[in-house]
Chain A
Amino acid sequence: MPDYFHGYAVVGLVAVVGVLFVGVAFSAGRLLRPVVPTREKMLTYECGVDPVGEGWAHTQIRYYVYAFLYVIFAVDSVFLFPWATVFDAPGFGGITLAEMFVFLGFLTVGLLYAYKKGVLEWT
């Protein structure tokens, strides 16, 4: 178990290096760059004309059904990883393979259903 965490200690150190790099870059940038704000410069960019309304506009998220699909499928697929490391171990063999096809069958039927329902069309 200590070995397991040791690996992530190195990852943590590299993360610290990354944060330092960005921090140093931002502070150095602050020293190097000019600061000359004007009212026009601080306006939201909208092709040169004055911005109309506000940027956080109401938008129709057309793909929210995809989002549902994604959550369902992704949660399913995450279980593949622990299974992948053991499925051909002695004593599993044919039965796990059959189980895999049941699992894939569920996913495929789900996908076909979504397709039939016309959910996979961007309307």
Chain B
Amino acid sequence: MDALDVTVRIVAVFLAFLLLPLLVGQTEHKVMAHMQGRVGPMYAGGFHGWAQLVADGVKFAQKEDVVPDGADRRVFQLAPALALIPYLLVLVAIPVAPGRGVVQALDAGIFFVLAVMGVGILGSLMGGWASANKFSLLGGLRTAAQLMAYELPMLLAAASVAMAAGTLSLPGILGVWEWWWLPWQLVGGVVFFTAGLAELQRPPFDAPIADSEIIFGAYTEYTGLRFALFLLAEYAGIVVLSALTAVLFLGGWHGPSADGLGWLWMLLKTGVLAFGVIWLRVSYPRLREDQIQRLAWTALVPLALFQIALTGVVKVVM
């Protein structure tokens, strides 16, 4: 692997990191609008408001950056960076096509991905604490509660796939993947996706943000560019979660003529899951904090344990 090759790959992953979240964001604007009988953005850029998020970005860049006097300045300013960068790192390990279609195959891929995704949550915790604002503090505490409840089922569901494949490397998992893994790992897939949604604090698990209740929680005091980075992190998170679910549970690039069209299948699966994330936001009311905890501990964790038992039995018996 020479320097040029590495450079091209890094540029590619960076572009994907900048473009895909915007694509999901714009889709959310339009899809949500149509589901609610509106048309959504129509003016920016001319054609069906395609440039709405570009316009939003320009607006954010021109806004004053207010750091409250009471805040812990340094931590407050660093929080958005810490929320965003981990999702860029996760994209490095996600395979989009067979063979060399991954920026960098890591031996401990699943482990790396889960560990780095956990770091992103720290951004919200830092913002929540450093703002010195009561809403933010509540939001931060709820974020912490949610992280602790949902990290576990996510870990267990991912472990089930690692057991099935006998490897921790993401390309390695896809290398041995077969179609009957779909029903076999179905429970784990649902648990993983649900837990991921909760970690991203997307509706219906958005109690830590809850704009109508605690004024965006950890992000109450953020303005301008820093708030925009938090938003970008949220949508990058949707991309990462959808891509990971596609790789671990839906077979990633597997599909008809995967050698040539593998990347297309991967994008398609990721896109469908991202659409699902948007759909859930429109269809479900927000869960209460105690309901969120109960769902994790009394439903998702037992289901994930069941999936591990099932995977182990099938794997040894077969």
Please give the residue numbers on chain A whose beta carbons come within 8 Å of chain B beta carbons, in ascending order. 4, 6-8, 10-11, 13-15, 17-19, 21-22, 25-26, 28-30, 32-37, 41-47, 51, 54-57, 59, 61, 63, 66-67, 69-70, 73-74, 77-78, 80-81, 84-88, 93-94, 96-97, 100-101, 104, 107-108, 111, 114-115, 120-122
Contacts and interface: CB of A to CB of B under 8 A. Distances in A.
A18 B85 contact: yes
Contacts of A93: 316
B66 interface: yes
Given A44-B133, A56-B137, A63-B148, A84 B220 contact: no
4 nearest interchain CB pairs? A122-B290, A55-B132, A18-B85, A70-B148
Nearest to A92: B316
A86 B315 CA distance: 12
A5 to B, nearest CB: 11
Contact of B141 (A47, A59, A87): A59
A30 B62 CA distance: 9
B316 A33 contact: no
Contact of B10 (A17, A77, A78, A85): A17
A93 B318 CA distance: 11
A114 B298 CA distance: 10
A8 B104 CA distance: 8
Contact of A67 (B84, B148, B302): B148
B10 A10 contact: yes
B69 interface: yes
Interface residues of B, number: 78
A22 B92 contact: no
Contacts of A6: 1
A81 B157 CA distance: 11
B89 A11 contact: yes
B64 A35 contact: yes
User: Could you tell me the dominant secondary structure of chain A's interface residues?
Assistant: helix
B63 A33 contact: yes
B162 interface: yes
Interface string B47-76: 000000000000001111111111100000
Instruction: Identify the interface centre among A14, A34, A66: most chain B CB within 10 Å of its CB.
Output: A14
A75 to B, nearest CB: 11
A11 B151 contact: no
B27 interface: no
A57 B136 CA distance: 11
Given A55-B132, A122-B293, A7 B68 contact: no
A104 B308 CA distance: 9
A40 to B, nearest CB: 11
Contact of B61 (A33, A94, A114, A120): A33
A64 to B, nearest CB: 10
Contact of A34 (B64, B107, B312): B64
B134 A57 contact: yes
A105 to B, nearest CB: 10
Given A47-B215, A94-B316, A122-B294, 20 more contacts: A11-B93, A14-B92, A18-B84, A22-B80, A22-B85, A29-B61, A32-B61, A41-B64, A46-B134, A46-B135, A66-B149, A67-B148, A73-B152, A74-B152, A84-B168, A86-B166, A93-B316, A111-B297, A115-B298, A120-B294
Contact of B315 (A18, A41, A43, A88): A88
Interface in B153-173: 155-156, 159, 162-163, 166-168
